[in-house]
Chain A
Amino acid sequence: MKKVFAVELFLILLLVGVMTVLLYQKNARPDVTEADVKEMVTSVAVDTAITPGGPLRLRRSFGLNSADHDLVVYYMPTDSLNVDEFLLIRTDEGQISDVLAAMEARIESQLNAFENYGDHQTELLKKAEIHQFGNYICLIIAEHPEVWLDAVKTLLEV
């Protein structure tokens, strides 16, 4: 009987250990809201030609369904000659690779569209950045992506 209790105690302690590792890993801030992201965008989007994009536009441009993800904030180019874009998604771990692939496909498709006639657009697309912080993934296509990246890191506390 004592042996059984000892093994069960060991299993409980092991569980505590596993839960500690899982719950206290260095994570991005989990409670970022849409309003927080919009406030951040307003503060850095001074020289960026973007405007809020809805779920349909997100689907058309990225093939992503906003309902499948926990948080989606998308800013699309103001017109068809601009390529500035910002997308921040918080999603399940299982969907991260799909979101990353969709973002890479978007850059590729925009490059195909602008290469050979839109030098400036092509230049912006070539320095486009995709970053993953825990369950957050962001795409930045802007004149100064490093400024955006700093703002995102501050927001997510990473």
Chain B
Amino acid sequence: MIFSSLTFLLIFLPITLLLYYLVPGIRLKNAALLLCSLIFYAWGEPLYILLMLYSIFMNYVCGLLMDKHKKMRRQVLIFGIIINLFLLGFFKYAGFLSESVSGLFGSFGVAVPARNIALPIGISFYTFQALSYLIDLYRGKFPVQKSFVRFALYITMFPQLIAGPIVRYESIAKELEKRTISPAKFGQGALLLIEGLAMKVLLANQIGTMADELRAMSTSLSTVSAWLGALAYFFQIYFDFAGYSTMAIGLGLMLGFTFTKNFDHPYMSTSVTEFWRRWHISLGTWFREYVYIPLGGNRVGTLKHIRNILVVWILTGLWHGAAWNFVLWGLYYGILLLLEKFVLLRLRLPKVIGWIYTTILVLVGWVIFSGETLIQSMAILSAMFGNGTGFFDKTALYYLSTGGIILFLCAISSTPILGKLRGKLLRTTAGRTLLTLVYVGLLALAIMFLAVQNYNPFLYFRF
């Protein structure tokens, strides 16, 4: 089930909220939320819920073992990490590995057979959450969670289960035991839910049609159409994922949980380094805490520092998907970040120049990321840089005239302007009334779009 579906909005969410608010006490509320989260997951993954339940049980038991057998903590941690990585590796990367080995050595008669294994939804997210729990528990950042329901709720809580943000246990440990639920928090959460829904349905889905159609014409694009297609995807992936994260944070608030923000206007960044501080913040934080710093971070020699950055970025690429274009995309950012660290940021370029080059580099990055194959990505990049079917064509004119308004709306919405306007409106009673009407209108419009449009993909589902 996804948030931007009528089943979720009109059936699942009202029933869950009703149940959650009707049952008394934090224990029953936790149990109710756990039950609803399992139903939410089982809706799309009736069988793979077994795998998630196993992961919960295994990590819970490892936590208890680490707590009870202090001398064996390190050994239990290694055991837990191996099992978690095995699950992720097997279900996410086994097919990719066997295909790659067969592709590389096929001519020598080497073929690795592989079953076509479906990727369990959310496995990348819940495995990373479980790993962070075990590692931080080992580091002594918090006491072990002895309640199975609370631990299972931390892993399965439906707002963040299938697409993050990757919530670290220490950030919600207290709220699992005691949290305040107030009308103000609920209202704030509802506003974020509507905001995220509008980003997803009214912006990402609309601009996504243009992005998909232009990508499908990758071999016959003019320079302008190729840039338009890249720009459309640039906005689609942002509003798709940021919209989903905003909905998750809003739903969390409605249930009394505070999740940290996952996006902070990344397209306003004036360097690639800054872009990655503002994009998918929870993933960046995870890799920094559990891979980059343990490898030595920047407190090592230059060569090891370069190695650490490249390792983190290849892993970040692979986290997004088991395909070579994701590896290339990760490597691309690794190299860009190294260039910035050692050259560009030392030049102290004017902010406007920084913004322009960052935007272009991020745009190019999304072309590598979004291609169904590397060949398709290269065809689009080639057209973008002058090797297309000309500079301007009828396709470009058509998409400029039909998609100009949505592109403009996306551009405005990706800046902090609307947030500042909302802040100003909230200061007066008239402003608050106007804002309420706007949000009700956005909700109604989003539901109308969902009811009449079939096109409602979710890009980060497959990660």
Contact = CB atoms under 8 A, between A and B. Distances in A.
Interface of A: 1, 3-4, 7-8, 11-12, 14-15, 18-19, 21-23, 25, 30-31, 55-56, 59, 62-65, 67-68, 70, 92-98, 101-102, 105, 135
Interface in B408-463: 453-457, 461-462
B54 A14 contact: yes
B58 interface: yes
Nearest to A109: B454
B218 to A, nearest CB: 11
B215 A67 contact: yes
B372 interface: yes
Given A4-B72, A68-B457, A11 B61 contact: yes
Given A62-B454, A93-B121, A97-B43, A7 B61 contact: yes
A26 B150 CA distance: 34
A15 B209 CA distance: 42
Q: Taking chain A's interface residues, is the majority helix, strand, or loop, or is none over half, making it mixed?
A: helix
Interface of B: 1-2, 5, 7, 43-48, 50-51, 54, 57-58, 61-62, 65, 69, 72, 75-76, 79, 83, 87, 90, 115-121, 162, 209, 212-213, 215-216, 372, 453-457, 461-462
Contact of A21 (B1, B50, B118, B461): B50
22 contacts: A4-B65, A4-B72, A4-B76, A7-B61, A8-B79, A14-B58, A15-B83, A22-B48, A25-B47, A59-B209, A59-B212, A63-B456, A65-B455, A67-B372, A92-B119, A92-B461, A93-B47, A94-B45, A97-B7, A98-B456, A98-B457, A105-B454
Nearest to B46: A93
A4 B76 CA distance: 8
Contacts of B54: 14-15, 18
Contacts of B372: 67
Contacts of A101: 454
Contacts of B213: 56, 59
Which residue, A23, A94, A101, has most C-beta atoms of chain B within 10 A? A94
B44 A1 contact: no
Contact of A95 (B116, B117, B461): B461
Contacts of A67: 212, 215-216, 372
A15 to B, nearest CB: 6
A8 B66 CA distance: 12
A93 B215 contact: no
Q: Which of A23, A56, A98, A135 has the most CB of B within 10 A?
A: A98
A49 B37 CA distance: 46
Contacts of A30: 115-116
A65 B215 CA distance: 11
B69 A3 contact: yes
Contacts of B90: 19
A1 B72 contact: yes
Closest 10 A-B residue pairs measured CB to CB?
A: A63-B454, A30-B116, A63-B455, A94-B44, A94-B121, A18-B54, A102-B454, A4-B72, A55-B216, A65-B212
